[in-house]
Chains A and B, each alone.
Chain A
């Protein structure tokens, strides 16, 4: 973020801090309150697993801190910078420089090969990994010239992770990354995320329905009814291989 006017909060060691974050969709009878005042602090470099039932507000929260959506009220700070009041252009720059996304449905460009999908991002990033290095990190070096149609779901998701990390983001946001995958494939995807978190030290948020995944987290945030119900610190995170789900 490069907004000179934005107030800089002293946030030593914190990646995100939100205060009284609310988000309301619709109006009148159709009004839905997705977030009802979220106060949360997330330290740099942690692997955070966000749990919660459907409609608990976890995805809305992720979208707001990822710069895809704006809060109705409250404050969001990323490393001391106010992103809650950033313009659309500033949010685009924020996403381009700092955020890597991984979605349930991969969202790869079908017309580009694995390598090219990654290169799509490295071409516009400031200090990227090479596409080869990023693919290496997720174990897909040998599949680099395949098109999405020629890969399995798990492979496609790992390409999506390689694409997300290639820019060396400060933050990696994953919304149900294993939602469309079987458990063996899901484990490989989680391993890839863990490797990336360890290697790049990117603050990693994983949204999931799957409570078992929480075992690999440094911190577990549980959402309910649009608010944070509980935050648990995990002093001994497990390796994804050892998780049962």
Chain B
């Protein structure tokens, strides 16, 4: 019986009935509540997380004065700072020194690379401030003191007072850690050219201005200006002014936050959250509304006699209507509470997960009141809307009609009954088919609900397929090297050959990279122009079918994303402004446009590029295949070569990407898969349970006639099994569409999701739905076994 008998005595009689009705259908009510909870928590999670991330980013950038514009330059006199500050639209500006460095970390054979940034010798910078979590900034007169980025410190267990051996500008130095901190420039820290962060392999440090200037021969000069804009200033205008100002000093071109690597990743994450938030919660809430509608209208049909009785006693239509509305409201409220709790809990967990990759000083999951208001309003609209029709029908029942036994439903007039007259099928199967044909809308809603959850399953699991194809393409087809080595500056072939001859190197391939601005008409994009051998083996551009696309003599291959941004096609001419060395302007024909899955690129033959640049036969670095037994020897050798500016380790990159997928994507996918499963459970269980309630009499009659529990189960469960089977292809089609949409919507500048769904994804989604159908059926089969034949048959309806 119902718990809380004492409590019940406080309720009106009708409310007691409500409470007992609810208790009687508690499993069903819970199943609906869980579907609602799924919608509520997904909505809360996605909008709340989006809100938290955006708000935290805004506050962090604002408080720690993140630059709006970064303007790198080869070497410019410090005196230029007052000119920069005098530019229209510049609110604050700083000059600084940024230098690449190699770190020799104890206990780690792989070479770690990173960069060192200068801090003003006196006072705080007016742009890009540090958030010190421990320690202090370097003293003016100490040239060896540094602040270390917290993620790097944590990865190496570095403490205040520890020392780190570094190679800066080809010189070895011992650096003493005096502080550990975070920076708004490094929310997402990733080595140039890498696709996943590795806190062990890439570090950032901050040194005093004078100390760093001496180390890299920049006394009285700077190699980067960072600028904050005044409110309403035009970024493009200030960038143009800066480019003009820096022109004589060798500047590759200033850029805004939209090209600042950390913020690009954060923005991409925010965009993805927004897309997910636009797609998934509406599906959940729509299905919840469907479910509430089906369940309530069928529940009311089962309760006909009770409604008639209430009205015969003199309860008014609105009282009866309100009574059933309250029943729905209680279920909705339960869904809201479960979903709210679940959403907040998941949000907090997700925020913790985010902080592993996105280093904010704090990231608290915090859905604003507006989010809650939206969630409540949408849920209320969905469930009350879903119930409104059914409740109105109940309220308008004529009491006399409601209390008499309803005539048997008429099967003679339903369209499509003809096919069920086929005499080769047995009567049980005929009953199943007629039940479906007689109530096509009900059947369609069940199919739609199951299909929606199938689509959600496929739409979310698609990410795993897509990402593995992307990874396979990137690591096994496009970039087949083990280690990439880049030089401090372009070097002669001799330098390349010295790398090629290092211990453990099995094969090597040179490359030339030059930073450039690509122009076509008024459109301009910054990109690295890569020169590679005529038939590259270790690093190459491939098309969507994974065929190598090699640049022809004198031609240029462009990745599709760049081609779209620049509005060029194969055959068009590009104007290329090389941003280093003699800074020539080249005119090169685009020979082919190709799809790249990760990153973008512009590639030429190395001979052609060098000829155009006029710097002789030089290389910027090399891709290497390495003997696995000799990697450590090679790493140690590389650490001691002054010309090496950085290294990239593919195996670790692949591992990191895999970890990232497992953790971030994996968790999200399991959450969504779980919710999709909940929807399926809600739809299927309710559908079977209500069918059982409606058809108890028929089923009991069959038992009396000598049909076994299995025979009777076939009639009841055959219907839902049939509908589930029908829903499978519909769900597969809808899931494919959803995956296609998500592949388009979630692709960003950083990567393009290939539209691939593996057979196992379809299989897994199908198996899950079938499993849920079987599970729900077993629950109801238990009820069939306990069916009281006598009680059911002796009474009228």
Contacts and interface: CB of A to CB of B under 8 A. Distances in A.
Interface of A: 59, 63, 66, 68-69, 89, 92-93, 95-97, 99, 101, 103-105, 107-112, 116-117, 119-121, 123-124, 146-150, 163, 167, 175
B302 to A, nearest CB: 15
Nearest to B711: A124
Contacts of B790: 63, 68-69
B410 A147 contact: yes
Given A111-B431, A123-B426, A59 B794 contact: yes
A158 to B, nearest CB: 15
A233 B705 CA distance: 30
Nearest to A117: B427
B427 A116 contact: yes
B779 to A, nearest CB: 20
19 contacts: A63-B790, A66-B704, A97-B706, A101-B704, A104-B794, A105-B405, A105-B796, A107-B697, A108-B408, A110-B410, A111-B411, A111-B434, A124-B706, A147-B408, A147-B412, A148-B408, A149-B408, A149-B410, A175-B794
Q: Determine which residue in A63, A104, A119, A147 has the highest number of CB atoms from chain B within 10 A of its CB, and name it.
A: A147
A96 B793 contact: no
Contact of B408 (A59, A110, A121, A123): A110
Interface in B378-421: 405, 407-412
Contact of A92 (B438, B703, B794): B703
A149 B704 contact: no
B693 to A, nearest CB: 16
Nearest to B426: A123
B701 interface: yes
Contact of B431 (A63, A93, A109, A149): A109
Contacts of B705: 95-96, 101, 120-121, 163
A121 B705 CA distance: 7
A96 B410 CA distance: 28
Contacts of B430: 111-112, 116
Given A97-B706, A150-B412, A119 B701 contact: no
Interface in B658-717: 697-698, 700-709, 711
Nearest to A163: B705
A96 B709 CA distance: 13
B789 interface: yes
A149 B708 contact: no
Interface of B: 405, 407-412, 426-428, 430-431, 434-435, 438, 697-698, 700-709, 711, 789-790, 793-796
Contacts of B411: 110-111, 147, 149
A59 B790 CA distance: 9
Contacts of B426: 123
B704 A120 contact: no
A83 to B, nearest CB: 14
A125 to B, nearest CB: 8
A68 B707 CA distance: 12
Contacts of B412: 146-147, 149-150
Contacts of B796: 105
A89 B435 contact: no
Contacts of B700: 107
Contact of A150 (B410, B431, B434, B704): B410
Contact of B707 (A105, A110, A124): A124
Contacts of A124: 706-707, 711
Contacts of A163: 705
A99 B706 CA distance: 8
A123 B427 contact: yes
A111 B435 contact: yes
A105 B706 contact: no
A112 B708 contact: no
Contacts of A110: 408-411, 698
B427 A68 contact: no
B70 to A, nearest CB: 74
Contacts of A109: 427, 431, 698, 701-702
Given A109-B431, A150-B410, A103 B793 contact: yes
A121 B707 CA distance: 9
Q: Which A-B residue pairs are the 10 nearest by beta carbons?
A: A96-B706, A149-B410, A110-B408, A107-B701, A111-B434, A120-B427, A95-B706, A148-B408, A147-B412, A147-B411
